[in-house]
Amino acid sequence: MLNRIHSLGGYFHEYQKSVSDPEGFWADIAETFFWRKKWDKVLNWNFDEPKIEWFVNGKLNITENIFERHLFTHADQAAIIWESNNPNEDSRILTYQELYEKVNQFANTLKTHGVKKGDRIAIYLPMVPEASIAMLACAKIGAVHSVVFAGFSAQSLADRINDAQVKLVITADGSYRGAKSFGLKSIVDEAVEKCSCVEKIIVLKRTGESTNMIEKRDIWWHDAIQNESTVCKAELMDSEDMLFILYTSGSTGKPKGVVHTTAGYMVYTQYTFQNVFQYNQGDIYWCSADVGWVTGHSYIVYGPLLAGATVVMFEGVPTYPHTGRFWEIIDKHKVTHFYTAPTAIRALQAYGLEPVKPYKLDSLKVLGTVGEPINAEAWHWYHTHIGKSKCPIVDTWWQTETGGMMISPLAGITPTKPAYATLPLPGIQPMIVDSEGKELTGNAVEGNLCIKFPWPSILRTTYGDHERCRQTYFSTYKGLYFTGDGVKRDEDGYYRILGRVDDVINVSGHRLGTAEVENAINEHPLVNESAVVGFPHDIKGQGIYAFVVLERDASTHDPEKMRDSVNITVNKVIGAIARPDKILFCTALPKTRSGKIMRRILRKIAEGDVSNLGDITTLLNPEVVEEIKKAAGF
């Protein structure tokens, strides 16, 4: 296979080349793609504005690189094997030819409903093949998709729709998750009440629940595609034309719309998919993420389909109808490559080995993890009981902003070490700095993780607010992209990601800003103010700890009822993923004399480490620290 590294020596050789001649390195890889017009220049960049352009003036369409490029060789090969939430419902298999035709048909449908190149489309769907079809149909006609995880609330959805001025929303009547089903269209209806930009809503029938359709605005997917042709001409896109927007949480304010463009993202996701997973024709690859997150974009949809892989897509949850469901699916579809989050491993590990025993798991060749640091214990359990000690584990570190995997072993090639993401992929130049921005050279150092040179799928901007992009990622350390993560490098030059150093928490692999959760809690009419911090959680990695000050007249309310009511508010404002694990009511928050909340102290209390809270005498209100400690049980 083209562009494939086969040995550790090969990796070091390619890495060297990617650093000494990045443009030559990426040009060689890009040559193997299908271009309508080749680029004039490989790279233009500066990290000050920032401005980054890859494959300048190249013309292409990413979907032609998924379909036309491969149809000669594997039109009849399965592209997507879909597994329903309900184990008794038949799996669906879509070959590359079938997927191609469905994408074309839906692309034509979008055009019929007025979608043009550059228009933004929101996708709010469960994990069904139509999610991939909708994304690829957008890409085919040059529309920009903004996929919103279908667990987000109406308000979160409305914020994202308005920020990107979305013209059309694609959703389903409802969604199944385990034993429950819930309405999606009703959430979209509530959201678009606040969004005057939305003209049309296309609704996929999934659960069959009764759904209110508004004439002229709402159309059923199955009706809309009826008379559409399965032939569609791909829009000619510039390398730097926007491919998608994906909202992600940061340390301040509202989520940002991370923007990825066409050519660089295409080249990088395919290259990293092939090399990290060492995928071979005939292998069956399953990534258990949701398409609502970047992992779904890059490693359920674009990376594997560009590589011509067969992808398993699963609608349900790991514990329904039983806690062996993941392992059952692996045996059923003879999965060779399995990519999941540490939180899922820890959750399933907690059920013991009984649910694993009935399954052979002998098709597995490679295991992967992503989303958060994996603790050594979970790593060993995954390695021993799922991989039967014969499957390499690729612990892949990357971010929504990086578009693709950045630091990761190559399966079966890079010697692994539990809890280490190991070595940077070719093209990635990490740099560790101290808090002043001074580079920490040599091995065996610990500090903040930056990247000093662009790679093809680095974010280009944050939608509608370039200054915010500059501020967030390119201003902390001059001339560097700052990841927001702490990192340790060991004697062998291996990288271990330590977690966020900013006010972002990682709950079950989902990124949340503490400010975002606080804003949601503060929407409660009886809440005066709040402070949110993360704390270590056995299954979720981090849990959410909220310190809440109620309005004066609310202090007589029953605390249990108040907790429920605060939870409902958070559910409404963001969604269930942001619900605090612990809520502690207090009369005030510890503050500095200038009025800043002392999170350091709250973090220590949340972690249960109250022996040394540091100097609190300079606080405006040192007495509340005692009160909070007592309320927290110390």
Residues that bind ligand 7RM (CB under 6 A): 248, 293-295, 370-373, 395-400, 421, 483-485, 497, 499-500, 506, 511
CA 332 – CA 84 distance, rounded (Å): 13
Q: Is 333 helix (H, G, I), strand (E, B) or coil?
A: helix
Cβ neighbours of residue 326 closer than 8 Å, sequence gap 6 or more: 288, 318, 338, 340, 344, 348
CA 307 – CA 234 distance, rounded (Å): 19
Give whichever of 293 and 382 is closer to ligand 7RM, judged by the CB atom.
293
User: Which residue from 474, 546, 528, 533 is spatially nearest to 504, judged by alpha carbons?
Assistant: 533
Q: How many CA atoms lie within 13 A of 556 on its CB side?
A: 1
User: Which residue from 195, 224, 189 is spatially nearest to 210, judged by alpha carbons?
Assistant: 189
Give whichever of 427 and 484 is closer to ligand 7RM, judged by the CB atom.
484
Report the nearest approach of ligand 7RM to the CB of residue 248 (Å).
Answer: 5
Give whichever of 126 and 371 is closer to ligand 7RM, judged by the CB atom.
371
Residue with tokens 């990841």: 483
Cβ neighbours around 434 below 10 Å, total: 12
Give whichever of 512 and 549 is closer to ligand 7RM, judged by the CB atom.
512
Report residue 630 CA to chain centroid gap: 38
Report the nearest approach of ligand 7RM to the CB of residue 515 (Å).
Answer: 17
Report the nearest approach of ligand 7RM to the CB of residue 406 (Å).
Answer: 9
Give whichever of 356 and 578 is closer to ligand 7RM, judged by the CB atom.
578
Report the nearest approach of ligand 7RM to the CB of residue 419 (Å).
Answer: 8
Report the nearest approach of ligand 7RM to the CB of residue 451 (Å).
Answer: 12
Report the nearest approach of ligand 7RM to the CB of residue 369 (Å).
Answer: 6
Structure tokens at 143: 């529309």
List the alpha helices (DSSP H) in 362-513.
376-381, 466-469
Give whichever of 290 and 518 is closer to ligand 7RM, judged by the CB atom.
290
Report the DSSP pairing between strands 541-550 and 527-537.
antiparallel
Find the angle CA(50)-CA(301)-CA(238) to the nearest 5 degrees. Answer: 45
| Residue 229 host element (H or E) | none
Report residue 167 CA to chain centroid gap: 24
Report the nearest approach of ligand 7RM to the CB of residue 495 (Å).
Answer: 9
Give whichever of 240 and 372 is closer to ligand 7RM, judged by the CB atom.
372
User: Which residue from 222, 126, 221 is spatially nearest to 182, judged by alpha carbons?
Assistant: 126
Give whichever of 188 and 413 is closer to ligand 7RM, judged by the CB atom.
413
605 φ/ψ angles, rounded to the nearest 5 degrees: -65, -45
Report the nearest approach of ligand 7RM to the CB of residue 498 (Å).
Answer: 8
Residue by residue, DSSP assigns 240-283 as TSEEEEEEE--SSSSPEEEEEEHHHHHHHHHHHHHHHHT--TT-
Structure tokens at 21: 């001649």
Report the nearest approach of ligand 7RM to the CB of residue 269 (Å).
Answer: 12
Give whichever of 145 and 496 is closer to ligand 7RM, judged by the CB atom.
496
Give whichever of 68 and 377 is closer to ligand 7RM, judged by the CB atom.
377
Q: Do you know the residue count of the chain?
A: 634
| Residue 184 host element (H or E) | none
The answer to whether residues 30 and 23 touch, using CB atoms and an 8 Å cutoff, is: no
CA 630 – CA 24 distance, rounded (Å): 62
Q: Is 413 helix (H, G, I), strand (E, B) or coil?
A: coil
User: Which residue from 290, 251, 252, 312 is spatially nearest to 152, judged by alpha carbons?
Assistant: 290
Report the nearest approach of ligand 7RM to the CB of residue 299 (Å).
Answer: 9
Report the nearest approach of ligand 7RM to the CB of residue 384 (Å).
Answer: 20
Give whichever of 460 and 511 is closer to ligand 7RM, judged by the CB atom.
511
Give whichever of 96 and 398 is closer to ligand 7RM, judged by the CB atom.
398
Residue with tokens 């400690």: 629
Find the angle CA(60)-CA(66)-CA(69) to the nearest 5 degrees. Answer: 75
Report the nearest approach of ligand 7RM to the CB of residue 520 (Å).
Answer: 19
